[in-house]
Chains A and B, each alone.
Chain A
């Protein structure tokens, strides 16, 4: 045991059991110690269950739990790192919506840290976009503009961003948890040797240590974990679209634009971009992660034709159609509509769940929606329990009634 990262010190443990109560993972059990003079029990940690969160360490009043983390090699000078950065992701010349959300959150963090907010823009012929970023709160924009950056490729984007990080030393970097962000953020973090926390849902600063407290869901959204990167800089995280509110536009704001000189010859590129094939969506909005209203169907829809009804309702709102895994597996609707653990995570203003019972693997993908409307015959199913408005009944009767109601209101 003594060689493990986490240990219970036998001579200090009094067997009070506080640590076992505090452990969220049930990894501590109390065993009898008959040989002990006072017959104190002993806490035993099951290392297969332990996630090293340190809760037991903080709980123990007798300093009988030790966590051995070798921090000697992290002697970087943290005070050299200043400023909050937002990676201003663009694709095909358009700034990703998540960037504007990161700018509003980044602004709040930078004010708290009394430092400045910068945006990093990499692309081809994108200089004009820097004013958009300044209007949304960036005080400085680093631009890496070159034809080689016309399409996203991991090798070159990683190289240029890490070069900039090493030179400018930001304290915090926020990136969108998009396919692009998720593809190369981890590579960047590995190259600069720092921590990266994925899919954060809330961010805070501890002013004393300037540590960045990054909270994210874990274990399929069942618990939340707050993560720190205490000994490394920059502190990096990714955030999904629609988690934070978009920064407001303030036209005509002033900001510094830094044109980064990049020696293109130093950028190794082992991939070749051959082309882009656009998804041809139907008339109803197909991009469920980018809409305010989602009408989703599950097993209870019962048939392929049922999704036509859902589409009609979604169409009235200019919303999109979502689906549970069961509906996708039944081939009533394609995988791109799937919400949940193995599908997409969505946070619309209104999520209308039709015939979806609300198993955890579905609800983790949608339970941050502002309003949930559940339509189900079974009033006792989980979705009906969490719904803001739980409508009990047959969806084939209720949905047409809703459509009729909305149409009649619009006519008047």
Chain B
């Protein structure tokens, strides 16, 4: 079974800070990491391979430095890493990103399952996975929390919903976006880390994957950023300290006054 895992390098937004004086993002010293949700995608790709045999190829679109996350994926069990890097890919919104990744997957050819994390932690859109499926003209299931069974032709999965889960069967090839509940990603072994260090990362540009540069990057993006601004900081209003019973009485009174109790 040929398994493709799409991953993204993101800034570790947990540590992102804004300089409120200048309204600027403090980027210095910020680390780039694998999108946390993609860790589950890599792990699930490797687990499918362990279950039914096959090969796991990870793909990312990004600047040359994004190579690091492909090596990390190899250390965690992927067989191969493909980096899509081209100036023509920059400034892409979710539609242009979906197009570029789908063009690369088509170019690599012969795939059975594409696995993506449910969303990226920087954009939070969850749009690229289903977008890729649409452009590849294959079905997708989002928010997969468990793969119940899989064979050459079909896959049965649990799709997490707000009120429980749906059991869905799909024909292959299929694209899955996976939720956090699906697995606990493994820690890379020393041996795998050595393999990853030596692995040759394939670097492909727009011409190599046969992508139309009018559909990639900023050109291929229907959406456009009009402006960016720093949201108003929430500021605290009242502080209470001292005897717990007095604090409790005061805050309950506030809630009563606002008729929230």
Contact = CB atoms under 8 A, between A and B. Distances in A.
Interface stretch (B75-83, B103-111, B167-175, B190-198): B167-175
Contacts of B91: 5-6, 50-52
Given A53-B227, A70-B214, A398 B247 contact: yes
Interface in B100-156: 121-131, 133-135, 138-143, 156
Interface residues of A, number: 112
Contact of B14 (A24, A361, A394): A361
A403 B186 CA distance: 43
A218 B233 CA distance: 15
B223 A154 contact: no
B252 A409 contact: yes
B130 A229 contact: no
Interface string B152-194: 0000101111111111111100100000110000000000000
A276 B163 CA distance: 9
Interface residues of B, number: 101
B90 interface: yes
A293 B234 CA distance: 19
A358 to B, nearest CB: 10
Given A47-B90, A275-B167, A183 B225 contact: no
A67 B127 contact: no
Contact of A222 (B16, B219, B240): B16
Contacts of A402: 248, 251-252
Nearest to A196: B127
B142 A182 contact: yes
A186 B97 CA distance: 12
A226 B227 contact: yes
A186 B124 contact: no
B58 interface: no
Contacts of A227: 223-226
Contacts of B26: 26
A401 interface: yes
Contacts of A52: 90-91, 218, 225
B252 A5 contact: no
Nearest to A398: B244
Interface string A163-194: 00000000000000011101111110111011
B140 A154 contact: yes
B249 interface: yes
A350 to B, nearest CB: 6
Contacts of A293: 260
A49 B229 CA distance: 17
Interface stretch (A34-42, A116-124, A384-392): A384-392
Contact of B171 (A197, A223, A270): A270
A274 interface: yes
B200 interface: no
Nearest to A341: B121
A260 interface: no
A411 interface: no
A393 B244 contact: yes
Interface of A: 3-6, 21, 23-26, 47-55, 67, 69-70, 73, 91-92, 151-155, 158, 178-180, 182-187, 189-191, 193-199, 213, 217-232, 270-279, 287, 289, 293, 317, 335, 341-342, 349-350, 359-361, 367, 371-373, 379, 384-394, 397-398, 401-402, 404-406, 409
Given A154-B139, A179-B143, A386-B236, 7 more contacts: A24-B228, A51-B228, A186-B129, A220-B13, A223-B229, A226-B226, A402-B248
25 contacts: A24-B25, A50-B91, A51-B228, A151-B166, A183-B143, A184-B130, A187-B133, A190-B95, A190-B131, A193-B222, A195-B223, A198-B124, A222-B18, A225-B227, A227-B226, A274-B167, A277-B164, A277-B166, A278-B164, A360-B14, A372-B234, A386-B236, A388-B237, A390-B240, A401-B249
